[in-house]
Chains A and B, each alone.
Chain A
């Protein structure tokens, strides 16, 4: 990589930001990603050469940076299903993971998938057309998946003469709509031209009236530390470690990834669903005992008492239990191309490290994702449809609302015949 990463201890200690990009087909999303990679010097020289050459061959006026993310285009030509592609770049400050979801028919499913792990969403708006139906759909999905941070990139500012008035107009339009989206706590609007690079990495001289950050500056500096829940202690047990060795004869460690809160040795904990109480003896690691473990770290804990615990159980703090219900209400997005939701059909429901059988009891309503209106008279559920359902499980789930905790509030439905993942769910 042509990017020089300074060799000091700092480079081993960067932040990680995951973001997703949303835009319609011609909003310039590929160009924007290409521009981010190119201007932040995260492209290989041979890649740039290839892109320059192809651009020249095609008679493009400018170097077509969209070609940098061309893997997907090739797939499209081959007729392969296009879904989420992940891309990586880094600056000395942060490492970035982009979930790039191409804007085409299966957009909803892909954006939901990409958004599920993202801290931030970039929503592209064409400065000429302004906020359109699709923009609202993208914002709705970002909000539904509880993305806290949104950048509205008003692109193609060059085509509206870098008009401050036009930019303000679009900002206002979007803010009016977004005021209804209560999961988005931080939103910035940035006037850019991905094609010419205005305000993407370099501050533009074409927009002297704009005093906000460039896109990269914002990506590098937006505070995302509070995206994890550090209040409600949740530890879904993933695997039980029993060495059966002379050295660790009685060792029984509970391995998992902290899904919320903070755990420390000595904490009073309850093991759900059994309800047994005990204390944390130690938080173990290859490097020795740890002082604490918090989301999203993987760890292994030992407990003071010998209790029968297995995968799918959850260790929580004594004074702060999760909800425990056999019937849940959730927003789901349907993913299967082949099969619609079967009323009373049986699915596997996978939630944290637990799997249960589940029946969709009732479709409460669907959301028309173009108008965002509720649809109550049509309860069929097909690909890309989003709506609210109630689900009955074969055993109680230990959960929080998705709003409160993305890890303990999310699940997928799996078709019991094909084993395909057919829906994503967010518990209300």
Chain B
């Protein structure tokens, strides 16, 4: 018994990994044309890493799909291109600029314009154009209450809508991906992971992340309580407070127009894990500002990617 306890013990990260790999392989096996949504954020990087493990030594049996708003951090795109080359994956980029040029969406005007809301259309168009029947996403059930009952295999009707009344029970590790023509699935291999699990896994596996996640110096502008990186698409307006060489990092990675930085000197994985473990206390005081940007990020995920 003692011997068995030691030799067949599987820790929480290994169990989560094994489950996620199983779901990735089920997706490849059950669907004709799956795709993995890749934003360059940590969750999608973990997804791609797991997919490599699942199909090694073959290449991924599905492409990575990135919806490029044109307002990405250069660091994100640099990471994306390097990573895609390293793992020899196919990359499909849906450009929001194309959607704008085609008149599919109307771009916001003015100095505070964001393409945040537009990318949903680009994503759905990209799915339709390429006829993907399953999109793998990095959504987790711990993200918020409403997601607590989301399935691994989330059924969407032919309008791409999620019908909470029509979700299939999932038992053991049997996943039912049967569908009628035109219907598709969103698949969430990280369903049972928490944010902390994701960080711990990144650390345990030594997965490199875009430099944006780590503490660095950057010029920022304080806008609506958020701290935005100054760039071509975010220029300080009159009356806005500009801070040179602020010591910051990004907790989530999205558009430059709406992803707020946080003050942080967390420069290693351990620093970040410690910060995540205690974040909710310190965040409280600056909730109005920081939260807004974080929820904006979450909304984008919900409407667009998930």
Contacts and interface: CB of A to CB of B under 8 A. Distances in A.
B18 A1 contact: no
Interface in B1-35: 1, 4-5, 8-19, 21-22, 25-26, 28-29
B29 A419 contact: no
Interface in A66-115: 69-72, 74-75, 80-88, 90, 94-95, 97, 100, 109, 112-113
Interface stretch (A131-139, A148-156, A238-246, A367-375): A238-246
Interface string B140-178: 011011101100000000000000110111111110101
B57 to A, nearest CB: 5
By size class, the interface of chain A is: 35 or more
A348 B171 contact: no
Contacts of A32: none
B171 A116 contact: yes
Given A113-B170, A286-B52, A286-B56, A296 B204 contact: no
Given A230-B4, A406-B172, A238 B148 contact: no
B273 interface: yes
Contact of A298 (B5, B18, B180, B276): B18
A8 to B, nearest CB: 9
A419 B173 contact: no
A247 B12 contact: no
B18 A225 contact: no
A45 B280 contact: yes
Interface in B35-70: 52-59
Contact of B194 (A12, A72, A88, A412): A88
Contact of A223 (B5, B59, B167, B280): B5
Interface in B170-215: 170-174, 176, 178-180, 191-192, 194, 196-197, 200, 203-204
Given A2-B281, A223-B5, A230-B4, A95 B197 contact: yes
Interface stretch (A13-21, A53-61, A314-322, A386-394): A13-21
B13 A85 contact: no
A239 B169 contact: no
A1 B11 contact: no
B15 A296 contact: yes
A14 B174 contact: no
A45 B176 contact: no
B284 interface: yes
A117 interface: yes
A251 interface: yes
A311 interface: yes
Interface string A211-251: 00000000000010110101000000011011111011001
A226 B5 CA distance: 8
B113 interface: no
B169 A335 contact: yes
B51 to A, nearest CB: 11
A205 to B, nearest CB: 29
A256 B21 CA distance: 9
Nearest to B166: A420
B169 A424 contact: yes
A4 interface: yes
A193 interface: no
Nearest to A350: B174
A255 B194 contact: no
A297 interface: yes
A421 interface: yes
Contact of B178 (A15, A223, A242, A419): A419
Given A88-B194, A311-B29, A419-B179, A407 B172 contact: yes
Interface string A379-412: 0000000000000000000000000001100111
Given A81-B164, A297-B10, A239 B29 contact: yes
A94 B273 CA distance: 17
Given A2-B278, A238-B26, A239-B25, A71 B145 contact: yes
B303 interface: no
Nearest to A410: B172
Contact of A113 (B58, B142, B169, B280): B169
B149 A412 contact: no
Nearest to A80: B164
A311 B169 CA distance: 23
B174 A411 contact: yes
B217 interface: no
A225 B5 contact: yes
B280 A44 contact: yes
Nearest to B18: A298
Given A45-B280, A46-B280, A294-B8, 18 more contacts: A5-B196, A15-B9, A16-B15, A86-B148, A90-B194, A95-B197, A97-B192, A225-B4, A239-B25, A241-B55, A253-B58, A257-B173, A286-B52, A335-B169, A348-B178, A350-B174, A353-B29, A412-B174
Interface of A: 1-5, 7, 11-16, 44-46, 69-72, 74-75, 80-88, 90, 94-95, 97, 100, 109, 112-113, 116-117, 223, 225-226, 228, 230, 238-239, 241-245, 247-248, 251, 253, 255-257, 262, 284-286, 294, 296-298, 300, 311, 335, 348, 350-351, 353, 406-407, 410-412, 414, 419-421, 424
24 contacts: A1-B276, A1-B279, A1-B280, A2-B278, A4-B278, A12-B11, A14-B12, A16-B15, A46-B280, A72-B148, A75-B164, A82-B149, A85-B149, A88-B142, A94-B12, A113-B170, A238-B29, A245-B57, A251-B58, A255-B54, A255-B55, A285-B53, A412-B171, A421-B170
